[in-house]
Amino acid sequence: MTLSVLSLIPLPQTIQEAIRAVDPSVALTMAPGWFDGEIRETWPAFTTERYLRAGSSGQGTRAERDALLAEAQVLVIGFPFPLDVRARAPKIEWVHQRPAGASNLRRGDLWDSGVVVTSSRGHAHNLPIAEYVLAGILHFAKGLQVAEIERAGQRFQAAAYEPVQLAGKTVCVVGAGGIGREVGRLCAAAGMRVVGTRRDPAPPSEGFSEIRGAGGLLHLLAESDFVAVCCQWTPETEHLIGREAFAAMKEGAVLVNIARGEIVDEEALVAALAAGKLRGAALDVYVGEFDHAPDPRLWGDERVLLTPHISAASDVGSHRGADLFVENLRRYVAGAPLRNVIDWPRGY
């Protein structure tokens, strides 16, 4: 009996060989880029211009692509992806998506569809993302945003930098999971006191002096000089960093968000900046980032560092999502539980 595995993303040759070696029944079909034309027609142009290869328009006919999906029992996808996978893949039993965040799937018909979906949560580019957080912290701690103002005016304002030392300062990691733990480790190595939150309290470890449950967030914000948002975007975390959270933060705090823009209430962020509450905000994400440009009020504020979701980018490949897929394929063939199955009510 054949187990049909279809990948819509490129996979290294070593991974392809590992997939085929799992079991003689595995038949792997590689189809990266085949659906790019459909994706361009169904996703916002802002998204496709950013994530798809320039000029790619897909391969095969619609009938040929339908045939690929119709036979697939296991599917590997990236972002963006065909929105109607579930409707066109009647035999599908399991989908693995390369991104770590489940919120990527909200647009398509896989969300809460009855198909088992796994993510690469905890196996993505944790170290580069953590380095980005530390860079964002340092950018504002050392007042480097002033340099751009000086460049425009061609006049130095040394007193405006007001640099602060990281050692001895407190950082709150909102979402002490795989990425958050790496953020905590790097910040602790820089001499910072690291505290954090997650859904449920956990023993301190890996540089953290304290990890509270979600209910402890406001208490930790009140004693933190820096705040790193690393949690999943779920119904529970949408606008988690809102007016109440900003009010609880220390004067002159710095916010870094590498998770999803929707976790931060941007109206509350704009208000906090207008009130002079924050020293700065480094945002690798923003509300509606897959559809449109950032809010002009944020992009026009020199206290806001905005980047296009590049915190995971690196010259060194560290994404282990394909390795997780191979491990899960072994489990699937053996009838064992899969790792990282998305819990739809929780949202990750």
59: CATH: 3.40.50.720
Looking at the structure, tell me whether residues 138 and 156 fall in a common domain.
yes
Asked if residue 148 is part of any domain, the answer here is yes
**Higher-scoring residue by pLDDT: 318, 194:** 194
Domain check: are 224 and 272 in the same one?
yes
Q: Flag whether 343 is in a domain.
A: no
Are both 161 and 264 inside the same structural domain?
yes
Give yes or no: residues 69 and 176 share one domain: no
Question: How large is the average pLDDT for residues 330-337?
Answer: 97
Residue 222's identity, in one-letter code, is: A
- Rounded Cα distance between 26 and 23, Å, is 6
Catalytic residues: 260, 289, 309
Average pLDDT over residues 85-90: 96
Residues 57 and 69 in one domain: yes
* One domain for residues 195 and 255: yes
Statement: residue 318 has pLDDT above 70: no
For residue 95, give the nearest of 348, 320, 328 by alpha carbon: 328
Domain that holds residue 38: 3-123+319-334
The pLDDT assigned to 101 comes to 84
pLDDT tens-digit profile of 234-282? 999 999 999 999 999 999 999 999 999 999 999 999 999 999 999 999 9
Residues 182-212: tens digit of each pLDDT:
999 999 999 999 999 999 999 988 899 999 9
76 and 220: one domain? no
Mark whether 154 and 104 lie in a shared domain. Answer: no
pLDDT at 16: 97
Residues 6+ apart with CB under 8 A from 186: 130, 131, 133, 134
Is residue 228 predicted with pLDDT exceeding 90? yes
Residue 312 within any structural domain of the chain: no
CA distance 119 to 40: 23
Neighbour tally for 348: CB within 10 Å: 19
Sign for the CA dihedral angle at 196, 199, 200, 205 comes to negative
Q: Enter the tokens of residue 339.
A: 């790792």
Residue 250 phi/psi, 5-degree rounding, is -65, 150
Where does the pLDDT of residue 124 fall: very low under 50, low under 70, confident under 90, or very high at 90 and above?
A: confident
Provide the pLDDT confidence category of residue 160 given band limits of 50, 70 and 90: very high
Residue 106 and residue 131 in one domain: no
- Whether pLDDT at 103 is above 80: yes
What is the spatial distance between Cα 244 and Cα 246, in angstroms, rounded to a whole number? 6
57 inside domain: yes
**CA diameter of the chain:** 73
196 Cβ contact list (under 8 Å, min separation 6): 172, 173, 174, 175, 176, 180, 184, 208, 210, 211, 212, 220
Q: Which amino acid is at 326?
A: V
Instruction: Categorize the per-residue pLDDT at 175 as very low, low, confident or very high, splitting at 50, 70 and 90.
Output: very high
Query: Which helix H or strand E contains 13, and what residues bound it?
Result: helix 13-21
Q: Is the pTM of this model over 0.85?
A: yes
Same-domain status, 112 and 139: no
CB 275 within 8 A of CB 303: no
- 347 part of a folded domain: no
CB 241 within 8 A of CB 255: yes
Residues 234 and 132 occupy one common structural domain:
yes
| pLDDT surpasses 70 at 3 | yes
What average pLDDT does this structure show over 28-32? 98
Q: Is the pLDDT of residue 72 over 90?
A: yes
34, 103 contact by CB (below 8 A): no
Query: Dihedral of CA 67/71/76/79: which sign?
Result: positive
What are 274-304's pLDDT values in tens digits? 999 999 999 999 999 989 999 999 999 999 9
- In the structure, what pLDDT confidence band is assigned to residue 338 with cuts at 50, 70 and 90? very high
User: What is the band of 136 on the pLDDT scale with cuts at 50, 70, 90?
Assistant: very high
Query: What is the chain's mean pLDDT, rounded?
Result: 95
The whole-number pLDDT of residue 13 equals 95
115 and 189 both lie in a single domain: no
How many domains is the chain partitioned into structurally?
A: 2
- Residue 302 lies inside a defined structural domain of this protein: yes
pLDDT at 104: 87
Residue 339 is assigned to a structural domain of this protein: no
Instruction: Please indicate, yes or no, if residue 346 is contained in any of the structural domains.
Output: no
